[in-house]
């Protein structure tokens, strides 16, 4: 599963959801879907814009979580 850590990066950069949405050209609702890990996909252009504004790498926002390892604990 891919975990979206957008909320972590936003907190580190001290930027609100509405401010980031405005800067990257998305609606607050669409960015919220991504932030809450409910999105099914993200466009590279969106990821590029988010990384540019947050001055981070895609790997800072997206993380692979191996569900099989989690369930074996």
**pLDDT per residue as tens, the chain (73 positions):** 999 999 999 999 999 999 999 999 999 999 999 999 999 999 999 999 999 999 999 999 999 999 877 666 5
Residues with Cβ within 8 Å of residue 56, at least 6 apart in sequence: 9, 13
41 in a structural domain: yes
Domain assignment of residue 70, yes or no: no
Alpha carbon 27 to its chain centroid, in Å, reads 14
What pLDDT score was predicted for residue 67?
80
Domain count, the chain: 1
pLDDT at 72: 61
Which of 53, 5, 3 is CA-nearest to residue 25? 53
**Model pTM?**
0.88
pLDDT of residue 71: 63
Question: Helix count (H) and strand count (E) of the chain?
Answer: 6, 2
Domain with residue 32: its CATH number is 1.10.260.40
The answer to whether residue 73 sits within a structural domain is no
Residue 54: predicted pLDDT: 98
Show the tokens assigned to 3: 């975990």
Q: Does residue 72 belong to any structural domain of this protein?
A: no
Domain interval for residue 18: 2-65
């Amino acid at each position: 599963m891919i975990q979206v850590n957008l909320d972590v990066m936003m907190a580190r950069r001290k930027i609100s959801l509405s401010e980031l949405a405005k800067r990257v050209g998305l609606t607050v609702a669409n960015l919220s879907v991504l932030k809450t890990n409910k999105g099914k996909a993200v466009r590279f252009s969106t990821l590029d814009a988010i990384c540019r504004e947050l001055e981070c790498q895609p790997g800072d926002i997206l993380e692979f979580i191996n569900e099989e390892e989690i369930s074996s604990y």
